[in-house]
Amino acid sequence: MAVPVSGPGSTEGGALLVLAIVIPVAAALLGFAAGGRRTERIALGALPIGLTVAVLIAAAVPPASAVPLTDGVLTYLLGGWAPPLGVALRADGLSAVMLVIAAVVVCAVGVFARADFAIADGAAETRAPFAFWILLPMIWAGLNTVFLAGDLFTLYVALEILTFAAVPLVCLDGRGETLQAALRYLLFALLGSVLYLAGTVLLYGAYGTLDIVLLSQRVAVAPAPLVAGALMTVGLLAKTALVPLHLWLPPAHAGAPPAGSALLSALVVKGSFFIVVRLWFDVMPGLPSVAATQMLSTLGAAAIVLGSVVALRQERLKLLIAYSTLAQIGYLFLLFGLAFDVDSAAMQKGDALAGGMLQAMSHATAKAAMFMAAGSIYVAMGHDRIAALAGAGRRVPVAVLAFALGGVALAGLPPGGAYLAKELLLGAAARTGQWWWAVVIQAGGAFTGAYLLLVLARVLAPPDRAAAGDVDTHHGRVAWYPQAAALVLAMVSLSLGLVDWSAWLPIPPGARLAASVVDTLAAAVWPVLAGGVLAVLIGRWTTPSGGRLARAVATLGPLRRGGIALGENVCRGDAFLRRWPMAGVSLLALAVAFGAALWTGR
Amino acid sequence: MSEVLVFGLCAAVVAGLGLYGAIVDPRPLRKILGFNLLGSGVFLFFGVVARRGAAAGFPGDPVPQALVITGIVVAFSATALAVTLLLRFFETTGSSSLRDGAAADGARDTAES
Amino acid sequence: MTIVPALDLFVAGVVLVVAVWTVAVRNTSSAVVGFVAYGLLLALVWVRLGAPDVALTEAAIGSGLTGALLIGAAARLRAGESTVAAERPGVPVRLLIAALATVVAAAIAGVLLSLPDPAPTLAPEATANAGATGLGNPITNVLMAFRAMDTMLEKVVLLLAVLGIWSLSPDAAWGGRPHLPHRAEPDAALEFLARVLTPVGVVLGIAVLWVSADHPGGAFQGATILAAMWLLVLMAGLGEVPDIGRRRLRLALVVGPAVFLTIGLGGLVVSGAFLSYPQGFAKPLILAIEFAMILTVATTLGLLVAGPPVAGPPAAGSAAAGSPARRAAP
Amino acid sequence: MSVLLDLVTIVMVSAGMVFFLAGTVGLLRFPDTLTRLHALTKADNIGLGLVVIGLVPQAGSLRDGLKLLCVWLLVLLASATVSQLVAQAARREGDSS
């Protein structure tokens, strides 16, 4: 029965949760009404306020994050109406850390974007800046709602806010390719949302509520939640672009303006990923089976291999980073296979979940830094063809440093958050005896090292004399602050491993950074070495003038030819999967397979 | 309560039809139509669920009915955005194909600046 | 077997036939017409399911406005249609997709048969708490009180859709006005209809909102009627879409969610919960929000159909334009 | 009295149905746009009018009866205008199919 007035359901400090959503929404509304220069000012002004609110929420969340999402967490009953009639906002440790990371990334992107979307005082309002300074707070509002909403339908509306704000970002430059990318993104994402919505109605029909906590108490093995779980998972995977549902991601993320790419890659895909986590760990923790969790992780492993290999074969920097996002999304889904506890046949909130969330946070910060750095490099060089980026290190050293540090953090080198994440995931793999995921985890780090080295080898090379005069004519100047914003984010990602996360994430005691110097060194050296080998074997080394590197690589003979053949085949496979009918077949087939895996896996 | 069974099955079939149309037909406008069919099938299922929950003198559970109203409005805005995007894409490139490289095949973009 | 189940079966059968036709017919314009017919039939189904509010919404938005939008697009896309249609996958792939879609549909249908009986419902809770708002229409209660957050956020989605559509304009057209793509030529009949029907429609739209406190109806349904009247006036050539830079237009687009948000925050201060209404003030406050919303939603729906601005704003010197397009950045 | 009213309803609605049927057959069978319009509008308007007249005796109140009449009037107005527009479009395009 609903409580008509603010009852015991709302906890102390719960009103902060409202502010986390209201502030960006209000900024967007005000900015829309005000127009012109004021749109930018309002959006920028909202950034520090929202960041403060996020930090306050993280401080207020009770350190009981290992327990399921129940009344122990920060709760707010909207309108004073308790679920199931009303809608609650809830923050647990996972929400809190994601809120803070999202706020940090949004702030950095805001600073960065001033370079591209500044509106001069008194100048006429123009299209792209006006849209951007409203889309930025809108994406933020959507994300915060995703992290806080305690109701599956509110989550649906939040997902739609994210999609509707993300699509215009993709085609802000109005070119034909980006319009096509945006259209593909929108159409596929809409299919995903409807599948998600279909799941919610099945759950409502079976249990009469859409509240996550109430559902977690009521969901039992029955046709409705199984079919709902399969449909919702697949719908969300389509929005997250997990291989093989990734037809839209590479062109969309590579075509958007750098600030947009950073938001899309770092945050937007995390929104739907976060809901998958909520669904599997909180809504239906007892439903998943070995088959279903292993399937999710297998898709993740496929994404790592496919995304990384195709990334190594890219000619353009932004496409390389986009494919790297594909691989990193796969990395996130490894946690499902590792978090499933066979004995209790339920999802367990433990080291695997903590590792996965840490990976999501590290990727959010590092990938935003890398896209922003790539944006600066693009401006400085006038293009982003990797083969002709020699000399970028001298022109925009800070951006290149940010790119390198972001890559280092992402490859899982200490003390990055990804390193700690890797340790946690490896620990979970060892504990549960799933050595095959340990192999995949290590391979993921090595692949990241590979494309990092591939890019660094080019950008750090001295300027190509033959091409220098040509490039100089159309390079632009890059202000210091966009580069600095990227660098700060990269540093944040690199230092995430130093924080004690046990107050928010279910980290078992003792899982900290590797103790000994030798271990640390080994952890640092091996992804780089293995990455180097991979980069040499599979990477694209051709240069316009046939540089020394290319000649050196060519001496490897048959090994290199084998690597290239493998790379080309994976690229063909990627192109095949990214055709619309195939992606559709994958979507439906996965829905059926998940249903079957959930059904028979017990 | 026979209408629950009849229209529930109808909803499921319409959803399946919409899925088929949205995936098979390469024309984006037909995909949008398919999405709308799929959506209306799902909405109809909301209506069936609401009807099953008829109680307390109401002909149906008002909560899913209210959710559908929200859903229809969201689906319409999605359709409007998708149609506008499609028209702009077509005007810019002369093609409405979603294949890789189709954007480059058509007339090169006119780059308003 | 009484007549009513037979009628249900008949309606469901017709709905399915039209749906199949919509997917299968070769010509897209025909498919759109099929979809409009399908939407109207669906409204009938909604009435049979005891949801007149949804029937109104479905007929107005799902069928009417969507149809208006799609039919214009189908005409403009006709030129390139056949080449794209040729990309259809081969028979094996189509069969595979059909089989998979059938499995999904069968799974949903199977769930329907497995749902618990008696069904879980919130109808009693909704009735028991209706007193808190003083409104008799349970759906309005759900939308405006129990789940007000969703309704507020949905307004944000609508605003985003408008922004997204505007952002697709050419740079040079920013600040200018959208031009209705399928506008009829000056025509006596249409103009007559617009002049006669518009006052009726405006009254009807507001009435649909006004009665929604206790009867079927609401801000969306009313707003759709208002938007339809606006579009009719535009198509008849009796008016123009305002410049998108117009301050008043911008305000109309945000006033709905803004009032919602403000009253919601007021609830946080006065009655202790965001989006709660103080005892005794619920009904007037909800009506205030709904009136702000009907303005916003009607404007939004009209603009969603009207598309992005196509021509640039009038030059600063041309006094005849009468609308200072760039007032947004004084 | 009520039997008489029911009789009126049955007769009128049935007559309306006949016109609807005729209009639909015309729409499907007539050769070109203008004749199809002819079949459609005439039959539809009279058909709907008869249905409305038939239903008025069944209306619970005067208000409901007036609402029914309003529906008819609105349909008349709309269909008249739309027929005009369709006919003009047909003539412009020289449509003779």
pLDDT at C195: 87
Q: For A278-433, where are the alpha helices, taking DSSP H only?
A: 290-312, 317-339, 351-381, 392-395, 397-410, 417-432
Q: Are residues A146 and A160 in the same domain?
A: no
Residues A168 and A115 in one domain: no
Residues in C closer than 8 angstroms to A227, CB to CB, are: 107-108, 110-111
Task: Say yes or no to pLDDT of B113 above 70.
Answer: no
Q: How confident is the model at residue A212 (pLDDT cuts 50, 70, 90)?
A: very high
Cross-chain CB nearest to C158 (options B17, B18, B77): B77
User: Which of D37, D81, D92, D93 to mutate against chain C (most C CBs within 10 Å)?
Assistant: D81
Arithmetic mean of pLDDT, A429-444: 90
Pairing of strands C177-178, C309-311: antiparallel
Q: What is the pLDDT of residues A348-360, one digit of tens each?
A: 888 899 999 999 9
Q: Does A198 touch chain B (CB under 8 A)?
A: yes
Block residue for tokens 């009849």: B6
Please give, rounded to a whole number of angstroms, the shortest distance from the CA of B15 to a CA of chain A: 9
Instruction: Indicate the DSSP class of residue A389.
Output: -
Listed by start position, the domains of chain D span: 2-92
Is C196 close to D80, i.e. CB distance below 8 A? no
**Minimum-distance CB partner of C70 among B27, B33, B54:** B33
Closest-CA distance of chain C to residue A305, Å:
26
User: Are A5 and C271 an interchain contact pair (Cβ–Cβ within 8 Å)?
Assistant: yes
- What pLDDT is recorded for position A591? 95
Q: Which of B42, B67, B98 sits opposite A194 (nearest CB)?
A: B42
Which of C122, C254, C275 comes nearest A78 by C-beta? C275
**pLDDT tens digits, residue range A448-462?**
999 898 898 888 888
Nearest to A62 by CA among A380, A459, A503: A503
Contact C97 A581 (CB under 8 A): yes
Averaging pLDDT over each range in A115-119, A471-475, A556-560, C256-260, which range is the top one? C256-260
Do A65 and A23 lie in one domain? The reply is: yes
Q: Please name every residue paired with C309 in a beta bridge, in sequence order, or none if there are none.
A: C178
Among chain B residues, the shortest Cα distance to A196 is held by: B42
Query: How is A92-140 classified by DSSP, letter by letter?
Result: -HHHHHHHHHHHHHHHHHHHHHHHHH---TTPPP-HHHHHHHHHHHHHH
- My answer on whether A38 and A6 are in the same domain is yes
CB A188 within 8 A of CB A232: no
Residues A241 and A261 in one domain: yes
CA distance A598 to A230: 8
What confidence score (pLDDT) does residue D94 get? 66
Report the percent of chain A where pLDDT is more than 90. 55
Q: Which residues of D touch C193 (CB under 8 A)?
A: 77-78, 81
> What band does A538 get if pLDDT is binned at 50, 70 and 90?
confident
CATH of domain B2-96: 1.10.287.3510
- The chain B residue lying nearest C153, using CA atoms, is B70
Q: How many structural domains compose chain A?
A: 2
Count of positions (residues) in chain A = 602
Give the closest of C97, C148, C254 to A78, CB-based: C148
Residues A302 and A424 in one domain: yes
Nearest CA in chain B to A200: B46
Q: Do A499 and A401 share a structural domain?
A: yes
Give residue-wise pLDDT tens across range A321-334. Answer: 999 999 999 999 99
Whether A298 and A391 map to the same domain: the answer is yes
* Mean pLDDT confidence for A465-489: 73
* Chains B and D are touching, with contact defined as 3 or more CB–CB pairs separated by less than 8 Å: no
Q: Digits of tens for pLDDT over chain C (330 positions)?
A: 567 788 899 999 999 999 999 999 988 999 999 999 999 999 999 999 988 888 988 888 888 889 989 988 998 888 878 888 888 888 999 999 999 999 999 999 999 999 888 888 888 888 888 877 778 788 888 988 899 999 999 999 999 999 999 999 988 888 888 887 655 566 678 888 888 888 988 998 888 888 877 777 788 888 988 998 998 888 888 888 888 888 899 999 999 999 999 999 988 888 878 888 888 788 888 888 989 999 999 999 999 998 899 876 665 434 333 333 333 333
Q: For residue range A234-287, what is the model confidence (pLDDT) as tens digits?
A: 999 999 999 899 999 999 999 899 999 999 999 999 999 999 999 999 998 888
Q: In whole numbers, what is the pLDDT of chain A averaged over residues? A: 87
Structural domain including A35 reads 1-150
Mean per-residue pLDDT for A578-590?
93
Substitution target in C27, C40, C190, C195 with the highest count of D β-carbons within 10 Å is C190
Please tell me the distance from the alpha carbon of residue B21 to that of residue A580, in angstroms, as a whole number: 12
pLDDT one-digit tens code per residue, B47-64 = 999 999 887 777 888 999
Q: Which of A228, A282, A258 is nearest to A66 (CA)?
A: A282
Residue C181's pLDDT is what?
60
Where are the domains positioned within chain C? 1-80, 89-120, 123-314
Q: Give residue-wise pLDDT tens across range D71-89.
A: 888 888 888 888 888 888 7
Contact check, Cβ <8 Å, A179/B103? yes
> What's the pLDDT score for residue D97?
44
Whether residue A418 sits in one domain with residue A549: yes
Q: Give the distance from residue D1's alpha carbon to the nearest chain C alpha carbon, in angstroms.
A: 26
Per-residue model confidence (pLDDT) at position A547: 62
Whether pLDDT at A548 is above 70: no
Tokens read off for A278: 């909520």
C197 touches chain D (CB under 8 A): yes
The mean predicted confidence, pLDDT, of chain D is 84
- pLDDT value of residue C116: 85
